[in-house]
Structure 1
């Protein structure tokens, strides 16, 4: 859908809203409003102007229980009246105002609480797309997701529209003749689904103009002629989490007596991970160690002074010795003298995943830590998250990964009431820091930066979650194509390139 599904709002390279998209947005902290104005000439692929009602209708689809949307969240419910609409207590969304009527282009959103991240894309509080009310209004909410108007003949206001769909195989896109920026440069785009095993050969034979590299196949394709390789660092990271509690009654509850609720043990485990060596040996240099839980792409929110846990077995051993984890034979025992066996849950993955995990187990063994895989083997994706989400007692620590929102607040991942806080750690200090970074005071940029830096230092020291690594994503692009860019400012606000700019050079 990336060729037609354009966001309403443009952003700069730090994901902050600007006025270069299909609509403008102005957030007013004092008035507790967000004013959205859709530009004149922004039209659906049938020629109809995108209206304020189309924007409201997107909220209605998400919040109406009959549509069974997975997008409704407590963050979106910061819009006045959305919760009442969701619960069926109101027929309209009281906080969605249309000053010029449904066919106007202006909408004023009234919020309960203002958040400093509201000027940033994917903040969770402001929806960033419209839905064609005139086209879908006759379809009942309960039938929307199965409707041909959604699945086979969707409507877009982006540069291209869907011409043909071969389910599971390909989609064909042609220019949206009503696109507000003018006619796109390509006559047709065909997007194909292929077997991962065919990717390397497809790249070497120049079968596609744009195709993503599977990193484990990099040595086979890196010398391909006639193409450009575009690298991107995604907003993501893998991490090692330690189970120290459970999810109970809508919140995380920490167990002070949990096996892994010992800071020295967690820190030592961090020093036992030779992440840089692993990156060099198994990823052909396409992965790298991540020092903090706030990625570098977030600019000044990233604290460059936090160095994380670099490989240092000597330091790890010293920490364990000092904390009373004494060696008894081959392995260390707990400070109370009881045996210590740590069960690690890790997912199946590429052919390199098994040797990478076994490498870490061997490093920890060098420190006298007895680490065993949960169930004796790597775990399939769905089974892995079933164990993690349900706090399976066979898991003491686990290696997971996050794909992040472009709003840097980590509240949804590590908060007391966040179900995704899979470590289940809760401290007064962590809650305080997370609350402050999303508070009214945090509208002051320096205050928010200082808060982010303090949180990173705190998380680094406590080591409940240890960032591990990230990978470069590499896209192969035909040298004859111009205008293909992965910069946030050059995207359609949806994380994909702005296909309007892509053209063949003569």
Structure 2
């Protein structure tokens, strides 16, 4: 996710999505929350959430809010696992051929408006995501379901899709092929339910304000002042409300790192992410949480300049990634020489360890490639080149570091255009850019979440990359039941993608953070929605 993924696969990889490694205060019961202490968590967000409609959201900022105010059939637990009863489904059965899942909803589960949550709500929501009219960029995350892709592409009707409410408490789902991690997928944001009757009532106003939302999760959105702050409050109609100790979560939208640090020091914020020089400031207090995330420079393959592969390679090879990680980021991030990050499983070990680095930096080679590319384009001078970047403090520093590399190692002046997250996404989608700092965090714990997005005309393929051989390898990997063949196809596909340098990977991220000692139960997942607030409590 964009922080964003694409179609699913058919092999024995992991039986559960988002496995293992969730960072949490384990075994600390929420009953330890001191009843005399105000149970309010004070946080910040780097951006205003662009979209709080579960079927249309695509970014991590929105995902974190949606994960707090909605819940699906399952909820990933503190240890990153899927267990029966963890979400709105009390249990389920799976047919012997692994194609039919029958989910049984809990009794007496309610929306925040008091209406019952039904299997019909789930059927409506999932088909809504697939409806071409919804234009959900994440529709493909439901493609394991029978005829889902055909309906989304206009080749089948909604009735043909393998999603059916048998009664108000029973949802039957039929898959195209066995998908061992399907249960975990049902926790993904696009799979979250919306209340059918409410959506039909508010129409296009859905998720535009707290009044135009109804919630199924631990919290409700009480206040949303765009570009300023959001307030979440406990949802008293939530089925597991007794294990939710926070009464409120206050989230300010803050882009300036100095402001964040000052407010953390004065106690206004209970935890903040830190980077760069702030790592040194909080030396001895900083903790690190690994992310299944890659940062890269999107290179517009359809632009007059970056349609040339040698110029794309030149800009990539001119970046000193180790210097960037060690001297600019300073947050535990590591240089990226592939698109699939560290920690993602491969055939027998980590995928990245099995494949290794797919390129290396070379400033002399970068200059040669730039000259060669310019000759191929029959130009003697580059036009003005711009880099889209975040308007946050850390985003500006990253952009400035890249700008310096290109000036020093290529002799090219690049203009930085810092802008709000939502505007940058729109520019990426419409391909109105030369270069843009972008990122992708794993939607599920498999290399495919970083590879299938680059197929021709893929919903999140904002670089415009297209290669028939790549498309075939991805399709083959998604179709074969042979785990080794599948992994081999993905490795070949990644090499094609990197050789073309459709995007320039720059680093695999890690989150460095500081957190007050009185904050307990805060879970940080390494894959998927990172910050889980359901089990947080304040103990002073």
| TM-score of the two chains, using structure 2 as the length reference | 0.68
Q: Who is 2:471 aligned against?
A: 431
- Please tell me whether residue 362 in structure 1 is matched to residue 362 in structure 2: no
Matched position secondary structure for 2:242: coil
Q: Distance in 2 between matches of 1:148 and 1:362?
A: 47
Query: 1:293: how far off?
Result: 0.8
The 5 Å alignment of 1:147-166 reads 150-151=212-213, 154-156=214-216, 158-161=217-220, 164-165=222-223
Give, in whole Å, the separation in 2 of the partners of 1:462 and 1:144.
Answer: 41
Q: How big is each residue's C-alpha offset from its partner over 1:25-55, in whole Å with a ceiling of 9 and x where there is no partner? A: 6666957434333344655456766431231
The equivalent of 2:194 in structure 1 is 131
Shift of 1:415: 0.5
State the alpha-carbon separation in 2 of the partners of residues 403 and 137 from structure 1: 30
Report what 2:268 is aligned to. Answer: 207
Q: Distance in 2 between matches of 1:260 and 1:88?
A: 36
Could you tell me how far 1:139 is from its partner in structure 2? Answer: 2.1
User: What are the superposed Cα offsets for residues 70-103 of structure 1, whole Å, 9 maximum, x if unpaired?
Assistant: 467355475548976998997867632233x1x2
Change (3 A) 1:123 1:245: farther
Secondary structure in 1 matching 2:512: strand
Residue 475 to residue 40, structure 1, CA distance change in 2 (3 Å): farther
- Residue equivalent to 1:57: 124
Which of 130, 139, 149 pairs up with 1:73?
139
Task: Measure how far apart 1:406 and its partner are.
Answer: 1.5
Aligned partner of 2:309 among 239, 242, 261: 261
Looking at structure 1, the residues matched to 387 and 459 of structure 2 have their Cα atoms a distance apart, in angstroms, of: 19
Report the CA distance between 1:296 and its aligned residue. Answer: 1.8
Partner of 1:233: 290
Distance 1:438 1:378 in 2: 38
Partner of 1:186: 245
Does the 8 Å contact 1:302/1:452 carry over to 2? Answer: no
Q: State the match for 1:406 in structure 2.
A: 443
Q: Is the 8 A contact 1:136 1:149 kept in 2?
A: no
How has the CA–CA distance of structure 1 residues 348 and 310 changed in structure 2, closer, same or farther, with 3 Å as cutoff?
Answer: same
Taking structure 1 as reference, are residues 504 and 119 closer, same or farther at Cα in structure 2, changes over 3 Å only? same
Structure 2 CA distance for partners of 1:240 and 1:308, relative to 1, 3 Å? farther
Residues in 1 aligned to 2:92 and 2:315: alpha-carbon distance in whole angstroms: 46
Q: CA deviation at 1:352?
A: 2.0
Count of paired positions: 456
Correspondence for 1:307 among 341, 344, 357: 357
* Matched ranges for 1:369-388 at <5 A: 371-373=412-414, 376-378=415-417, 380=419
Give me the whole-angstrom Cα distance separating, in 2, the residues matched to 1:231 and 1:89. Answer: 47
Matched, 1:446 2:479: no
- 1:299 & 1:433 partners in 2: Cα distance? 19
Q: What's the CA shift for 1:274?
A: 0.8
Residues in 1 aligned to 2:312 and 2:155: alpha-carbon distance in whole angstroms: 47
| 1:467-503 deviation digits (Å, cap 9, x = unpaired) | 11243333433212222121369xxx8543152x323
Q: Are 1:109 and 2:173 matched, yes or no?
A: yes
Cα deviation per residue 1:225-278 (whole Å; 9 max; x = unaligned)? xxx6443333432223444447xxxxxxxx9x986234xx65454332211112
Partner of 2:70: 5
Distance 1:433 1:130, change over 3 A: same
Aligned to 1:347: 388
Query: Post-superposition shift, 1:179?
Result: 2.5
> Structure 2: which 5+ runs fail to align?
1-64
Structure 1 residues 355 and 144, CA, compared in 2 at 3 Å: closer, same or farther?
closer
The RMSD of aligned alpha carbons is 4.5
User: With CA pairs under 8 Å and 6+ residues apart, which has the higher RCO, 1 or 2?
Assistant: 2
2:503 aligned residue: 465
Q: Secondary structure at the match of 2:294?
A: strand
The answer on whether the counterparts of 2:279 and 2:286 sit within 8 Å (CA) in structure 1 is no
Are residues 108 and 471 of structure 1, via their aligned partners in 2, closer, same or farther at CA, if it must alter by over 3 Å?
same
The CA deviation string for residues 192-244 of structure 1, in whole angstroms up to 9 with x for no partner, is 325444321110112233x32353562585159xxx64433334322234444
In 2, the alpha carbon distance for the partners of 1:417 and 1:166 equals: 34
Q: 1:120/1:460 Cα in 2 relative to 1: closer, same or farther (>3 Å)?
A: farther
2: distance between equivalents of 1:338 and 1:428? 29
CA contact (8 A) 2:288 2:510 kept: yes
Name the structure 2 match of 1:252: none
> Does residue 288 of structure 1 match 2:338?
no
Seen in structure 2, the aligned counterparts of structure 1 residues 377 and 125 have a Cα distance that, compared at 3 Å, is closer
Q: Secondary structure at the match of 2:406?
A: helix
- Provide the C-alpha distance between the structure 1 equivalents of 2:486 and 2:101, rounded to a whole number of angstroms: 21
Residues 324, 416 of structure 1: alpha-carbon distance in 2 compared, 3 angstrom cutoff:
closer
Q: Secondary structure at the match of 1:298?
A: coil
User: Secondary structure of 2:139's partner?
Assistant: coil
Q: Are the equivalent residues in 1 in contact too, given 2:72–2:192 (CA < 8 A)?
A: yes
Does the C-alpha gap of structure 1 residues 60 and 458 become closer, same or farther in structure 2, counting only changes over 3 Å?
closer
Structure-2 change in CA distance of 1:37 and 1:340 (3 Å): farther
Shift, 1:177, TM fit: 6.0
2-structure distance, mates of 1:482, 1:126: 25
- SS at structure 2 position matched to 1:456: helix
* CA distance, structure 1, for counterparts of residue 72 and residue 299 of structure 2: 37
Question: How far apart are 1:6 and its partner, in Å?
Answer: 2.6
